């Protein structure tokens, strides 16, 4: 699985998430994934893609045996792809906003959101993670991040030579300019491909989302960007082109050293 692949094709689906209704969301996704390009290696889904950004942890949180996790395993096996996205997760007596990365019917990595959105009381319902996660998939190093993490560049600083930075989000339209600006900044400062996947529609808290999901290259150039409708984007990333740019300019070699406490 970790043999180096020069190219990695990522596909991301932006859609209106049914509020706290796993069955409806998974049925919707079963329909939407029929349009996946045949060469897709990795399918990316939004933050809390099966429930919406809900604080109703007692009702919605799953374990590794849960309905959504089993669905991800099934899709990864049947479509022969990796699939990732976050869900409310129950872990050792606490709840986590957990980003799962699934391949070949197994959860091969996970990331628990570090920066909980206190403005929206997320910190009152979920426990924060403490470890960054880099997944190695087809020879690509992929860094997993969730929504509010985007505002904290130290946490995503490319000290582990990752190649792709993923943000799955529920980012409201009132602050969408920050979303678009910060995605480009993270790509530029880390010399990395970035995919930021948001949702659309109105959630159970009456927050409106207008998408603006994007795939951005290591120079900050937008490769693909969605507007405010249900849509799929797909791009093939090229390792050699990114590494040639890094070798030529070497900006990461001049980065500051630091420790996160």
Catalytic one among 22, 113, 138, 235? 113
In sequence order, what E strands does 53-162 have? 82-91, 94-103, 106-112, 134-137, 140-146
7 annotated active-site: no
Distances (CA, A) of 50 to 24, 39, 183, 249, 257: 8, 25, 24, 41, 39
Q: Which of 138, 147, 195, 235 is catalytic?
A: 147
DSSP 8-state code for residue 120: G
φ, ψ of residue 74 in degrees (nearest 5): -65, -45
β-bridge pairing 164-168 and 193-197:
parallel
Place of tokens 């792709």: 164
Q: Is 147 considered catalytic here? A: yes
Q: Is residue 47 flagged as an active site residue?
A: yes
Q: Which parts of 157-216 are beta strand (E)?
A: 164-168, 193-197, 200-202, 208-210, 214-216
d(CA 114, CA 116): 6
Q: At what angle do helices 22-32 and 67-79 cross, to 10 degrees?
A: 10
List active site positions.
47, 113, 147
């Amino acid at each position: 699985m970790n043999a180096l692949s020069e190219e990695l094709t990522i596909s991301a689906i932006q859609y209106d998430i049914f509020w706290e209704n796993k069955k409806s969301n998974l049925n919707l996704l079963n329909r939407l994934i029929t349009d996946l390009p045949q060469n897709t290696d990795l399918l990316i889904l939004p933050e809390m893609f099966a429930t919406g950004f809900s604080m109703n942890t007692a009702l919605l949180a799953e374990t590794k045996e849960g309905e959504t996790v089993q669905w991800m395993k099934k899709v990864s096996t049947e479509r022969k792809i990796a699939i990732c996205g976050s869900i409310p997760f129950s872990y050792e007596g606490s709840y986590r906003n957990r980003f799962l990365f699934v391949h070949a019917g197994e959860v091969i990595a996970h990331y628990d959101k570090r920066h909980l959105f206190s403005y929206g009381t997320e910190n009152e319902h979920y426990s924060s993670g403490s470890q960054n996660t880099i997944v190695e998939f087809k020879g690509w190093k992929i860094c997993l991040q969730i929504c509010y993490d985007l505002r904290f560049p130290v946490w995503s600083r490319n000290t582990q030579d990752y190649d792709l930075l993923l943000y799955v989000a529920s980012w409201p339209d009132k602050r969408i300019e920050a979303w678009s600006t910060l995605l480009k900044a993270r790509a530029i400062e880390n010399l990395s491909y970035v995919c930021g996947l948001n949702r659309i529609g109105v959630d159970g808290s009456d927050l409106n989302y207008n998408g603006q999901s994007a795939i951005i290259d290591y120079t900050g150039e937008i490769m693909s960007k969605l507007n405010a409708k249900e849509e799929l984007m797909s791009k093939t990333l090229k390792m050699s082109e990114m590494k040639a740019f890094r070798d030529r300019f070497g900006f990461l070699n001049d980065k500051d050293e630091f420790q996160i406490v």
